[in-house]
Amino acid sequence: MTDASEKNVAAGAAATKADTTPAWVVDPVGPLTGDIVVRGSKNAVTKHLVASLLGDSPSTITNVPDIGDVDITAQMLEALGCGIDRADGITTVDPRSLTSSRVPLTFTGMNRIPILMVGPLLHRVGEAFVPLLGGDDIGSRPVDFHVDALRAMGAEITFTDEGMEAKTTRLRGAHIELPYPSVGATETVLLTATLAEGRTVLENGALEPEVIELALFLQRMGARIEMRPGRRYIIDGVDKLSGAAHRLQGDRIEAFSYLVAGLITGGQVTVYGCSQDRLVTAISTLSGMGAEFDITDTSVSARAGRLKPAAVETDTHPGFMTDWQSPMVALFTRCEGLSVMYETVYENRFTYVPALNKMGAQIETYNTPLGSVAGRFVGSSTPCSVIVRGGMPLKGTEVTVPDIRGGFAYVLAAASAEGTTTITGTHHLDRGYNKPIENFKSLGLDIERVQVPRPPDLD
């Protein structure tokens, strides 16, 4: 069992007690300094594990992070009958023993990976069932794009109160144009089109590094995938795919988040394992705010003098990543003056703001798009923009994590606050970050896992 698995089991057992819940207690110590080695990307590893279903022999993924989402995905594959071998950051999936096409209901609401299994299971078995999806509560994340693409390739899909049923006699290539360059829908098309009969043309596909990494892994398995200008993918179906080996690229979300940990506390963090090209937009944005960088072939290091406020808007790659947004807003609280963050990817990504305000930040939310990218959520009741008045002193308090990325922002704010902060709902952080407690401790932060009385908002 991995370290994250043991933590999750222990946390789950404790959470069954009516009166207590797992928490992290953070006491600020001043500037955070040191080195962090990031593992493979959370947003890539689970997709590679799913892709392994398509092979006629085992696939091996290395540099695998020790996170909850890997545990969950591996358990799903085992429930389908696949052989799973995990040790020391290496995971091997043997799809030859697949015995079931139904992801058990016990995985209902855990994450969004089951929808990506539909195409591979249709190829392997001709039918599939996946339970209702979960994942972070960051706004509407419908499966319409996935379903429309699967139906275009010949899948018959029906919905029940428990989940989604799919069947087919043969999947065939199709011309698919996504209304928005959705990462998940692009991955569904890539995973399904590789073994479909004929050619699939995907228009307006996502170009995030994790998507490209998946395409390259599928190509390594024997898929015929081309990338054309204008967000176009051309996939010619093949008769079979074979297992392959791949070392995952570093997690750019973790890398950015730890660089910010140094900046927000007036320290300096050096990140290894995530190449400069995956952080280009983040580096340029932070540089514009006054951060100074040392960049080598193997590392990126950031230190701060007097940081300036900024106006930032999220966008699809190569724009500023939506998962960088909450750490950046936390950093804005330390920059004298007014900063603006405009979210264009998800319409409910500011659920963490009230807790930062509770800590003393001055952040105002707006339904008005405060940026140049066309607003996707005009008329939504949830805010798409925030204005941060930086320089206000933060104070420790008790907060509850709403989602993975918002939770990391709480830790960053706590590290730069005065006094102790107690953070509950930390299972989100264990689900998405590799050894976060150990990494923060290596930077000098006083942070511990504890059991605390269960707050009412967790009931």
- Residues annotated as catalytic are 136
Which residues make beta-bridge pairs with 421? 26
- In DSSP terms, 172 is beta-bridged to 197
List Cα–Cα distances, 132 to 149, 432, 436, in angstroms.
18, 20, 29
CB 367 within 8 A of CB 384: yes
User: Of 72, 55, 64, 92, whose CA–CA distance to 5 is shortest?
Assistant: 72
Q: Render 149-174 in DSSP notation, one character per residue.
A: HHHHTT-EEEE-SSEEEEE-S--B--
* Spatial strand order in the sheet of 268-272: 33-37, 268-272, 299-304, 291-295
Cis peptide before 22, with omega less than 30 degrees from 0? no
Query: Which are the contacts of 12, defined by CB distance < 8 A and separation ≥ 6?
Result: 427
Q: How far is CA 111 from the centre of its chain?
A: 11
Element (H, E) at 297: none
Q: Rounded CA gap, 350 and 346, in Å? A: 9
Burial class (CB in 10 A: 0-12, 13-18, 19+), 141: middle
Residue whose pair of structure tokens reads 């399904």 in the numeric block: 192
Nearest to 117 by CA among 51, 211, 212: 51
Question: Alpha helices, DSSP H only, in 238-385?
Answer: 252-264, 280-288, 325-332, 353-358
At residue 316's C-alpha, the angle toward residues 313 and 366, to 5°, is 35
Q: What is the DSSP letter of 14?
A: H
CA distance 262 to 258: 7
